[in-house]
Copies of this chain bind each other. A is one copy, B any other.
Amino acid sequence: MGLPGQPTLEMVATEAGVSRSTVSRVVNDSPQVTPEAVAAVTAAIDKLGYVPNRAARILASRRTFSIALVIPENTAKFFADPYFATVIQGVAMHLSSTEYTLSLLIAPELDAEKTRRYLQAGNVDGAIILSHHSDDRSYLLLAHSIPVVFGGRPVSPEGTVASYVDVDNVEAARAITEHLLAHGRRKVATIAGPLNMSAGIDRLLGWREAVSDAGLDTSLVEHGDFTPASGAAAMRRLLDRGVPIDGVFAASAQMASGALTVLREAGLNVPGDLGLVTFDDDYFAASAVPPLTTVAQPSVEVGMRMASVLLRIIDGEQVPAITMLPTTIVERTSA
């Protein structure tokens, strides 16, 4: 009667001459099924080309086999930042060897509440919050109801319980600043990130350590929000101070690229008059004129590790809360 349509578990059962329960057991490879039954069922499955219906399975089992990757930014920033693309790639890559599906959520601050509800409504087994460029307090509570892994240490008022994957921003910032100092720069400024993100805080800290250890002036600080425009504005404010500057550490390559245009307009040569180093080895750093010496962070690896940690948490394993990944310095010609 009627068209067969997509084969269902029921049809497999009939074909194999067993009950639906048995088919279900075979599909979920339960150990307690006789070899004969297994053989009959797998044969039927192959013959019919049966694939379990995901929705039905989720509904009945209360497991979704999917995780969310939340990017708390508006689409414009998401669009502009190559970092996100590479991290996604890492997450997807790890997931590809598992049963899990990825659900990408670009969630501006505005509907953070809505997003949180969606996540709490049992639509995913866990979530990765990529807070690299954003405040994330609203997501901290989430960790109480479902497994969560943060990308970048979340800034929390109290002690954090959430897991996260990050690089040592303080150390990396210090190292790249010392690179500047090693090239003889003595009036070293920084275009820092926002202070409500750990990357902003830590990179400023690293810069300050390096400069202060060298006995130099630590007051040459202006802030941006990691975007090119904000980097340009900060650079302008720095120049407007009227004090001599011969080195700048910009906390993101995007800000550095903005700063570069301002320097060019001001008739300043890089690296002739001034050394410029930055953070992120992306398109902005590589294609700048001149190409920028920078801190490279393993963003694909960050994605992979976040996924791996999250899945292990979901599986009930005991995983260290903090995963630190190494950075390297890529020397180009801007220092």
Interface residues of A (CB under 8 A from B): 6, 49, 51-56, 58-59, 64, 66, 75, 78-79, 82, 84-86, 88-89, 92-93, 95-97, 101-106, 117-118, 120-123, 282-283, 286-287, 291, 300
Q: Which of B49, B55, B59, B89 contacts A78 (CB 8 A)?
A: B89
Give 15 A-B contacts (CB < 8 Å), ordered by A residue. A51-B117, A51-B118, A52-B121, A56-B59, A82-B85, A84-B89, A85-B89, A88-B88, A88-B92, A96-B105, A101-B103, A102-B102, A103-B103, A287-B287, A291-B291
| CB-based contact B106/A93 at 8 Å | yes
Q: Is the CB of B92 within 8 A of A106?
A: yes
Partner of A103, one of B52, B102, B283, B286: B102
Question: Known: A102-B103, A283-B282, A283-B283. Contact between A93 and B117, CB under 8 A?
Answer: no
Across the A-B interface, the 4 shortest Cβ-Cβ residue pairs: A286-B287, A85-B85, A51-B121, A55-B58
- If A59-B55, A93-B106 touch, whether A120 touches B6 (CB-CB below 8 Å) is yes
Pairwise interchain contact A89-B79, C-beta atoms closer than 8 A: yes
Which of A103, A106, A121 gathers most chain B CB within 10 Å? Answer: A121
The A interface, classified by DSSP as helix, strand, loop or mixed, is: helix
| A94 closest partner in B (C-beta) | B75
Work out how many copies of this chain go into the complex: 2
Nearest CB of chain B from residue A328's CB, rounded to whole Å:
15
> Which B residues are in CB contact (< 8 Å) with A59?
53, 55-56, 59
Q: Which residues of B contact A93 (CB under 8 A)?
A: 75, 78-79, 106
Q: Of all chain B residues, which has the CB nearest A103? A: B101
Distance from A228 Cβ to chain B, minimum over Cβ atoms (Å):
16
With beta carbons under 8 angstroms apart, the residue of B66, B79, B104, B287 that contacts A95 is B104
Contacting pair A49 B6 (CB below 8 A): no
Within the complex, the shortest CB–CB distance from A235 to chain B, in Å, comes to 22
CB contacts (< 8 Å) of A283 on chain B: these are 282-283, 286
> When chains A and B are docked, how far (Å) is the Cα of A66 from the Cα of B75?
19
**B286 pairs with A53, CB closer than 8 A:** no
Residues of B within 8 A of A92 (CB): 78, 88, 104, 106
Pick the contact of A55: B64, B84, B291 (CB < 8 A): B64
A96, B75: Cβ atoms under 8 Å?
Answer: yes
In the assembled complex, the CB of A44 is this many whole angstroms from the nearest CB of chain B, namely 15
**A52 cross-chain contacts in B, Cβ below 8 A:** 121
A285 to chain B: closest residue by CB: B287
| Given A88-B88, A88-B92, A102-B103, 14 additional A-B pairs, CB 8 A | A6-B121, A6-B122, A51-B120, A51-B123, A52-B121, A54-B55, A54-B58, A56-B59, A85-B89, A92-B106, A95-B104, A96-B105, A101-B104, A291-B291
